[in-house]
Structure 1
Amino acid sequence: MIGGNPFAGEVSINLDGKRRTLKLTLGSLAELEATMTGDSIVSLISRFEDGQFNTEDVVRLLLAGLRGGGWEGTGHDLLDANIEGGPAQAIRAAALLLNRSFAIPAT
């Protein structure tokens, strides 16, 4: 189940049996962009919109969101973690995180 506060740009997932909040903050976005080696957030958004994203995009985005939500794990921790709902849920959470972070929610 994906939850979170759409008005705050938040998405929630269950990671290793614990509910975690994902949020893209300025710090987590800067960290994300630093790992993208010449790529940009705009390109990442475009790949998701076009369905051309890859696993690395999903992992980087989830990690940035988790860090923005206060999680102190590493990329390796995320790769070893159990996300309730599996890879499909991870992809949905990543896409929803981008949407909630960069779109104005309907009222």
Structure 2
Amino acid sequence: MPNIHRGEIAAEIGGETRVLCLTLGALAELEARLGAGDLAGLAQRFAGGKISARDLTAIIGAGLRGGGNTISDDDLAQMSVEGGLRGAAEIAVRLLQATFGEVA
């Protein structure tokens, strides 16, 4: 069961309910994978509201690994996500909100 106070969420991925969390390690992985440099760079990248499939895979993959799942981004890319592309985008938004709080 996810603990929202630790920034965890639950999502249906690959036919299973999984816990995702952007831990410090997961955030560092995400910074490196997306070439953001730092947390401010990540925030700038997502602030414009444009997000690629590569971004979704990186965010969800880092969150899965931060939540204790041993799933590579390549494996994740082959899995079904409840709600398809829209569902994947919603998972990423919920995960970022759980990590950084609501954006005004």
Fold equivalence (TM over 0.5): yes
SS in 2 for 1:35: helix
Give the corresponding residue for 1:99: 97
Identity %: 37
Superposition map of 1:37-48 within 5 A: 37-48=35-46
Q: Partners of 2:90 and 2:20 in 1: how far apart? A: 13
SS in 2 for 1:63: helix
Q: Deviations over 1:53-76 (max 9, x none)?
A: 221111100001000001101111
Taking structure 1 as reference, are residues 26 and 9 closer, same or farther at Cα in structure 2, changes over 3 Å only?
same
Deviates more, 1:74-83 or 1:53-62: 53-62
Alignment match of 1:26 (pick from 10, 14, 24): 24
- Gaps in structure 2 of 5+ consecutive residues: none
Alignment match of 1:84 (pick from 65, 82, 85): 82
Q: How many residues align?
A: 102
SS in 1 for 2:12: strand
Consecutive aligned runs of 4 or more in structure 1 exceeding 3 Å deviation: 38-41, 46-49
Q: CA RMSD in A?
A: 2.0
- Gaps in structure 1 of 5+ consecutive residues: none
Letter in 2 for 1:34: A
Q: Partners of 2:56 and 2:37 in 1: how far apart? A: 14
Q: Is the 8 A contact 1:61 1:94 kept in 2?
A: yes
Letter in 2 for 1:24: L
